[in-house]
Amino acid sequence: MQPDQLRAVAQRWIDEDPDYETQQELKRLLEAEDLSATDLADRFAGTLEFGTAGLRGVLGAGPNRMNRAVVIRATYGLCDALLEDFKDEARTRGVVIGYDGRRMSREFAEDAAGVLAARGVHVHLFTTCSPTPLCAFAAKKLGAVAGIMVTASHNPPEYNGYKVYWANGAQIIPPIDTRIAERIAKAPAAKAIERFDMHDMKEDKLVHEVGVGVERAYLDAVRALAVTEGGTRSLKIVYTPLHGVGNRIVTQAFHESGFSFVQTVPEQANPDGAFPTVAFPNPEEKGAMDLAFALAKKEKADLVLANDPDADRLAVAVPDESSKTGYRQLTGNQVGVLLGHYLLTEGPRDGKRLVIASIVSSPMLGAIAKALGVRYEETLTGFKWIANRAMELEQTEKLRFVFGFEEALGYTIGQLVRDKDGISAAIGFAELTAMLRSKGKSVLDRLEELYREYGLFTSSQVTVTRKGVEGAAELKAMMQRLRDKPVALVGDVKVTAIADFESRTRTVLGNGGPQPISLPKTNMIAFELEGGSRIIARPSGTEPKVKFYFDVREPMTKDESLQDAMKRAGEKTKKLEEAFVKLAG
């Protein structure tokens, strides 16, 4: 875009922006003699794409940023879709709106409420910042036609986002997201969209506060998920919400579940959108858990738990003398396998049970489920797919959903929340730890027992990145080569089946033609290997890179040490990585 064009579109945005602060932000950028020295071109390079996760982006002025104008237009488009789908019922059942502790979260929530109320739609608004799982729970509990959660989850401080739940309490999936996006594109300029202020909404009784009754119902439901009442509840637990919104409700849930020795990392206890003690508020990032480990070491804690800032993810660390910090942080796959096994073996066994994992998560839960006679399913990446598939199978096949997880620290137990829930997962993992301790075992003991019984499963990733348009074309050609010339061997390991999710077919090599698979179409290929290992090739939808996921299954002999088995699995993984990257070109 030429400088004159850029100045014109920026000025048009200023004229249509209802927010004085972002108006001034753009005016300051337009004062620069050389616009190329600013980020103005990027701000107008496109618009934030509304997809199955709603909106997420860097805060700032312009259509390619998160700001009040973008939120106002998004809510107008969402309202159009709701009124079309639910008619007058949308106005009476209303929309739940929650928000986290990030910068501009409350302002975005009130703007969304104002747009809905001006069109006669009732709003159930949280009065203070709250966890994402509580918003998802409230949408279902209150019978709303939709839920809006203003959050950027575990993204850096400069981000915010806008997440949408549908009437079933789960995140939106196609084609709903596409229809909403089409209506957002047709929405008027933000300044032309009518909004009620909070006083008007309260006067007209169009906004209702989400009261303590909803939180009380959620806490009661978390308590009802308990599968073991015994165990040693005197565990010393260190918890951190990473400057997010989890502390108050998580510590309450612990107390009501009998865990009274819980200490929150004081420097990270309260919501703070600046996230002053961490470079990146994601418990998986290096250094994010340092303060928690230091407190745990001082207090000789038995368990370290962390939520991300909106409390929908859970990280777990357990004592380990061989670690420099004194604690070993478990992977998302290890937590998912441990929780899933616990719920299946200690929980109720009535009905036909179901567990679900995303396809890039460890297949170990599938091996456990098969051995226990439990239905196991895999979905595309993202909890929206797990939740919606669970509800589909509950309805069509009368299965009882027990547990779902994805390797990026996302877990959900039962039907409480139709999304990942780091709060109930934290209580569940504490109960698991207490149960093991009452039997004289540790979490690491149980993990080793599972490896010995079902095989040692290890996971790794290799990312291949290219630059620019040429790089994107090269990666596209790489995926096409993998399709055109099916791989029969990776190193010295035989490929037994290939699943192509773009053509939605799975072919067992040497055993007939392709068979249909039920998962939605996506650009991904899975190679199933002899012995239960697996490789997945999956390009990014937004960046010029391809990720290769390696899940290796290595049987353990009766008397060998876990250390020896881990070494052997690591060597096998490295060989597979090198061989597959070479094959992919």
Strand partners, 427: none
State the first-to-last Cα distance of the chain, in angstroms, to the nearest integer: 36
The 8 Å CB, 24+ separation contacts for 495-501 are: 495/527, 495/528, 495/529, 495/530, 496/528, 496/529, 496/530, 497/527, 497/528, 498/525, 498/526, 498/527, 498/528, 499/525, 499/526, 499/528, 500/525, 501/380, 501/525, 501/526
> How many other CB atoms sit within 10 Å of the CB of residue 498?
20
407 vs 363: CA distance, rounded Å: 11
**Three-state SS at 507:** strand
Spell out the residues 6+ positions from residue 261 whose beta carbon is closer than 8 angstroms to its own: 234, 235, 236, 237
548 vs 535: CA distance, rounded Å: 7
Q: Which of 433, 435, 431, 377 is nearest to 406 (CA)?
A: 377
Q: CA-based angle 410:413:415, to the nearest 5?
A: 120
Q: Which residue has the tokens 């994805």?
A: 406
DSSP 50: -
Cβ atoms of residues 115 and 79 within 8 Å: yes
Q: CA-based angle 452:453:457, to the nearest 5?
A: 65
Give alpha helix (H) positions in 88-163. 88-93, 105-118, 132-141
**Strand stretches in 396-531, DSSP E:** 400-406, 410-413, 456-465, 489-490, 493-500, 505-508, 515-516, 525-529
Bridge pairing between strands 95-99 and 375-379? unpaired
> How many other CB atoms sit within 10 Å of the CB of residue 276?
10
Catalytic residue among 105, 130, 153, 362: 153
353 vs 343: CA distance, rounded Å: 11
Quick check: is 153 catalytic?
A: yes
Which positions are annotated as active-site residues? Answer: 153
